[in-house]
Each structure stands twice: as structure tokens, then as C-alpha cells.
């Protein structure tokens, strides 16, 4: 089953949480770093003057480049163009122009819009990046809005939500282009499992977002400003604000409601973008051109497929293919679906032909694993980067019990795992290894650990730990999970670990002292080795090490 898509933005960061609030993603990283790790110093950045900066992360910084390198054209190479048959003759070659001419919501001249307009107008480079991410998807979103008879202004909502970044993640646990929290995502049909997160799937999240917005519009009796505010902070909160004003005899329009700072800024940001777009000439603002035509195809491949093989079939790099299909967390599509892939329209015929010539069992690589002593399904699944359920299903296992010498069929990636750069594992690895002026140490989570406990132990904030590791402050951390902790250089942290060091060939007290940032006299005192002339390889030394001073 095939649906034609149009590739323009990259997912709206959704229903009930953070917005990008007046700053670019790169600038946000710089500002948030200063806020979280160096609060004693004042930054001169104007961004710190904003009063509504959200907790939003962009863990896949190269998503813009990955999407911008994809060649997009409306040529279908002979594929059936279901969408284009339904379209009216194109009057606007540029999609922004088409949007501007067909927007219907009344624009308020409320003073709150001015600061938002000023920011966008002063940062045209921001829209350049947004357009690169939106390019493959925007047309699809516009046509979905038209089919549902929804205001086309909503096509700009992913800019406010996530800067069209499908990998964006908020500290409120909202994810994707439309920013859905887990519960709301499930409520609107977005599956979330080890293999797949529908909140990052541009198609699934767009359908869910439009369903949710339709519900909110009806819930608030056709008031779009109330509906948009509720999309950001929830219908319950907006409903209570309306009832409170009504009871007090006050106006109940959006501008009169007592709402959180972020929500009070949320609707004005969207309206500011709409006003700029409708009056582009008077603002002398250049919107990067996006073709007013379909440029992607949605293909149901019918079975699990390695993303590297799909990329090969479509003539894309692996990273480009994954950027178009950001819902897949691992190296392949999900075993139990969905099995759809977004492919550039002009590549879809080539892809479909190669797919048809490849049997489903050949779309994934397999190994025959002999169970060794001490192994269990969890360890085997971890070693092969798959899941226990997949191994059990393939091998028709009724329980988790396996035996030494037993053979298991296990799916494996076609390429080295580090080549799947947009997989969840690689995104986290890149985030944790991001260069900084601090000292990075690794903490292996133990039973009973919480982010609050670790924050207290390392004298940092739990929000900082969450940000460094791509999680939300309220996320559960599991035993064995490795977290990166960043501490200031050239300062005593007061975090001392007692370790046992095994002397290596060529070691000396001076070398060991330098490596761990301790004094020679302390090493001698801790180990009662006064008078010992030489250290012996294999000798054990007790050391009390400040984690910020050790060199590794």
C-alpha cells in the first residue's frame, strides 16, 4: 500500500510539552550549557534574556545536513501518483507562497506578538536550517491539513514545537517533530518499543497530531487559540483557566487567561510566523524555497528490513535513509511493524523493483548462535543488538529457558553498528562524547540509584545529568546503564573514590601520582611502602582519587 508524501520539515514537537522558544538549536545548546554547568558566570548572550526557554534537546545535530543532501524531485519514475491526481492545478511554485495565500485564521495584533516577530526577523539563518529539515515533509503535511479541512497555519506548528527536528526531545519526555509525551502518543496511535518510536515517525506523528488538534478544536467549541494553547499545556489546564475567568467575570479569550509562561508565548510564536509569512515582502524576509509538489513516496515493504539494505535499494546513504525514517530506533525496521519506509519519489520505482526481487527472509542477515555456558537470552540479545522477543519468536521458544549447546537463529545488522549513525545507540554515544570544557566521567548505574542521588553525589543538577545523557529528569534509570557526568576542570570536586591500582611495567610513583592527581607521599602513606625502592608489575596499590583529577 503506497501513499505519496511530500517531504518538508522534520517533525513537530508535540502535544503537551516544550517549544523551542525563540532560539536556534545550536544557540540553545550553548546557552543551556552555560546555565547548567557554569551558572557562576554570566553570559552576554541575548538568548538568556528570554523568559520562556524550554528544556529541549536536539541529540542528532547532523539531521539538517543528512536531509539537505537528499535530492528531491517530483519525478515519479513511473510510480502511481495517488496524491497528485487529487490536486488542483499548481498556482504557486513555492509552497510558502501557497500557504500564505490560503491561510484563514484571524491574526491578532496583540503586543505579545511583536517580540516574537522581532526574533524571527533578526535570525533568518534559523529559518534556513528549519527549511532544510522541513523540505521533504511540508507538502505532505499541507495536503493532510487540506484533506481534513484544517487551517493551513498548523503546518507551521512544528517550527514552534521542534524546529522540524524529528529527534528533538524535551525534559518533559516529549519527543519528535510534534512533541508527544509517551502517554499522549499512545493515545493517538503511536507505538513505542525497543525497535520503534512512532512519536519520531513523521507520518505517524503527523496523523496523531492532526487527530489531537481536531479533538482540541471540538473540545473548545471551535476556538483555535484555546486549542493551540491546550496542545502545548493540555486541555485540562486551559479548561481550568477558562472556568476560573468565567467564574470571576473576566474575559475568557486566550490573551486574558492565566497560563504558564511557555504557553503564553506558544500561540504568539505561531501567529508571529503566520504574520511574517503573509507579509513577506513588507518584512523583507526570505523564506527558503520549498517546491509546491510531492517529493516523497510512502512504501509498505511488508516485512522487517535492514535499513542499510533499504538504503542500497533506494540509492541513498544509510544516514539519509534513516533521516527520512527517524522512527526506527535500531538498525532495521520493527519486526512486527510498521513496515513502511519514506523514499524520495524519484527513487521509489527503483526501490520497489529491488524489494520485489528480494525475498523477505533475505532482507535481514542471520547467524546461527551456539549457546555457551553462562549465557542467557538477555545477554545474547544484547550482544547482537536485537531483542529477547525477536529471538524467542524466530526460534519458537515458549519461555526464556535455553541450554548450553543449543543453537539459536539470531538476526544481525548488515553493517557495523557504528555506521547506523542515527540509531538510538549511536545518537546517545555521540551526545555523551560531545566535546566540552569539563571533565567527563562515566557512572555505571547500580541498584537503588536515582538521578537525584547521583546529582547530590556529584554536586550537579539532575536536569544536567539528564541533558548530558539524552533522557528526562523523571526517566527511570536501570542498573548497568552508563551515564556521563561532567564536572568542572581545575577544581576539587570533593568526590573521592577509593580504588585499587595494579602496577604495570614501567610504572613509577611519580607516573602514577601524575595519572591520578595524587601526591607521591600520599601513595606511600596509604600503602605503607616507605623505603621500597622499586615498584613491581602486578603489585596492588590503594589510592584515594578525586575523579576530576584522574587522567583516565
Among residues 263, 269, 202, 251, which one has the least CA distance to residue 227? 263
Cα dihedral value 194, 54, 139, 124, nearest 10: -140
Helix axes 261-278, 224-233, angle to 10 degrees: 130
361 contacts 347 by C-beta, under 8 angstroms: no
Helix, strand, coil distribution of the chain in percent, nearest 5: 45, 10, 45
Place of cell 547530590: 456
Query: Among residues 153, 161, 235, 275, which one is catalytic?
Result: 161
Q: How many angstroms separate the CA atoms of 254 and 259, rounded?
A: 9
506 CB-near residues (< 8 Å, 6+ apart): none
DSSP states along 462-529? HHHHHHHTT--TTS---TT-EEEEEE-TTS----EEEEEEE--TT--HHHHHHHHT--HHHHHHHHT-
Q: How far apart are CA 463 and CA 54, in angstroms?
A: 12
Q: Are 448 and 352 in contact (CB under 8 A)?
A: no
Q: What is the DSSP string of 207-267?
A: HHHHHHHHHHHHHTTT-HHHHHHHHHH-HHHHHHHHHHHHHTT---SGGGS---HHHHHHH
Distances (CA, A) of 167 to 10, 66, 75, 133, 328: 8, 13, 29, 11, 11
CB count in 10 Å sphere of residue 132: 23
Active site residue 153: no
Residue pair 116/272 in contact (Cβ under 8 Å)? The answer is yes
Q: For residue 16, what is its C-alpha cell?
A: 503537551
| DSSP one-letter code for 149 | T
Q: List strand residue ranges (DSSP E) for 283-421, in order.
A: 296-300, 340-344, 365-370, 407-412
| Catalytic positions | 161
Amino acid at each position: 500500500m503506497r501513499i505519496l508524501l511530500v517531504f518538508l520539515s522534520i517533525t513537530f514537537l508535540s502535544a503537551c510539552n516544550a517549544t523551542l522558544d525563540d532560539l536556534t538549536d545550536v544557540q540553545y545548546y550553548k546557552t543551556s550549557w552555560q546555565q547548567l554547568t557554569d551558572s557562576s558566570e554570566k553570559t552576554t548572550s541575548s538568548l538568556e534574556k528570554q523568559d520562556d526557554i524550554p528544556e529541549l534537546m536536539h541529540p542528532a545535530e547532523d539531521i539538517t545536513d543528512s536531509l539537505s543532501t537528499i535530492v528531491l524531485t517530483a519525478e515519479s519514475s513511473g510510480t502511481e501518483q495517488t496524491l497528485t491526481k487529487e490536486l488542483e492545478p499548481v498556482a504557486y511554485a513555492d509552497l510558502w507562497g501557497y500557504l500564505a495565500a490560503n491561510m484563514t485564521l484571524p491574526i491578532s495584533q496583540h503586543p505579545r506578538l511583536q517580540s516574537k516577530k522581532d526574533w524571527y526577523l533578526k535570525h533568518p539563518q534559523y529559518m534556513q536550517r528549519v527549511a532544510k529539515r522541513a523540505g521533504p515533509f511540508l507538502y505532505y503535511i499541507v495536503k493532510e491539513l487540506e484533506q481534513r479541512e484544517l487551517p493551513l497555519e498548523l503546518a507551521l506548528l512544528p517550527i514552534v514545537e521542534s524546529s522540524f527536528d524529528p529527534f528533538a526531545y524535551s525534559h518533559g519526555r516529549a519527543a519528535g517533530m510534534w512533541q508527544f509525551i509517551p502517554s499522549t502518543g499512545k493515545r493517538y496511535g503511536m507505538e513505542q518499543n525497543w525497535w520503534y518510536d512512532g512519536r519520531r515517525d513523521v507520518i505517524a506523528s503527523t496523523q496523531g497530531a492532526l487527530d489531537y488538534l481536531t479533538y482540541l478544536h471540538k473540545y473548545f467549541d471551535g476556538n483555535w487559540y484555546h486549542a493551540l494553547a491546550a496542545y502545548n499545556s493540555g486541555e485540562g489546564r486551559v479548561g481550568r483557566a477558562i472556568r476560573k475567568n468565567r467564574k470571576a467575570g473576566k474575559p475568557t479569550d486566550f490573551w486574558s487567561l492565566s497560563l504558564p509562561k511557555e504557553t503564553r508565548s506558544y500561540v504568539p510564536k505561531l501567529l508571529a510566523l503566520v504574520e511574517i509569512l503573509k507579509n513577506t515582502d513588507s518584512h523583507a524576509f526570505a523564506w527558503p524555497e520549498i517546491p509546491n509538489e510531492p517529493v516523497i513516496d510512502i512504501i509498505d515493504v511488508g516485512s522487517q528490513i535492514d535499513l542499510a539494505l533499504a538504503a542500497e535499494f533506494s540509492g541513498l546513504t544509510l544516514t539519509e535513509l534513516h533521516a527520512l525514517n527517524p522512527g526506527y530506533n535500531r538498525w532495521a525496521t520493527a519486526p512486527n511493524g510498521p513496515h513502511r519506509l519514506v523514499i524520495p519519489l524519484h527513487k521509489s520505482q527503483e526501490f520497489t523493483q529491488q524489494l520485489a526481487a528480494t525475498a523477505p527472509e533475505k532482507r535481514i542477515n542471520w547467524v546461527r548462535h551456539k549457546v555457551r555456558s553462562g549465557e542467557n537470552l538477555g545477554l545474547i540479545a544484547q550482544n547482537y543488538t536485537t531483542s529477547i522477543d525477536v529471538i524467542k519468536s524466530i526460534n519458537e521458544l515458549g519461555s526464556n529457558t535455553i541450554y548450553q549447546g543449543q543453537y539459536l537463529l539470531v538476526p544481525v545488522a548488515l553493517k557495523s553498528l557504528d555506521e547506523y549513525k542515527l540509531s538510538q545507540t549511536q545518537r546517545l554515544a555521540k551526545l555523551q562524547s560531545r566535546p566540552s570544557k569539563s571533565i567527563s566521567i562515566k557512572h555505571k548505574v547500580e541498584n537503588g540509584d536515582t538521578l537525584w542521588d547521583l546529582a547530590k553525589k556529584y554536586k550537579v543538577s539532575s536536569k544536567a545529568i539528564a541533558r548530558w545523557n539524552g533522557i528526562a529528569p523523571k526517566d527511570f534509570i536501570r542498573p548497568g546503564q552508563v551515564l556521563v557526568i561532567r564536572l568542572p576542570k581545575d577544581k576539587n570536586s570533593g568526590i573521592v573514590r577509593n580504588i585499587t591500582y595494579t602496577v604495570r611495567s614501567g610504572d613509577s610513583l611519580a607516573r602514577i601520582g601524575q595519572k591520578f592527581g595524587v601526591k607521591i607521599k600520599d601513595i606511600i602513606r596509604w600503602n605503607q611502602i616507605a623505603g621500597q625502592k622499586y615498584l613491581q608489575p602486578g603489585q596492588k596499590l590503594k589510592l584515594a582519587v578525586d575523579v576530576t583529577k584522574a587522567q583516565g
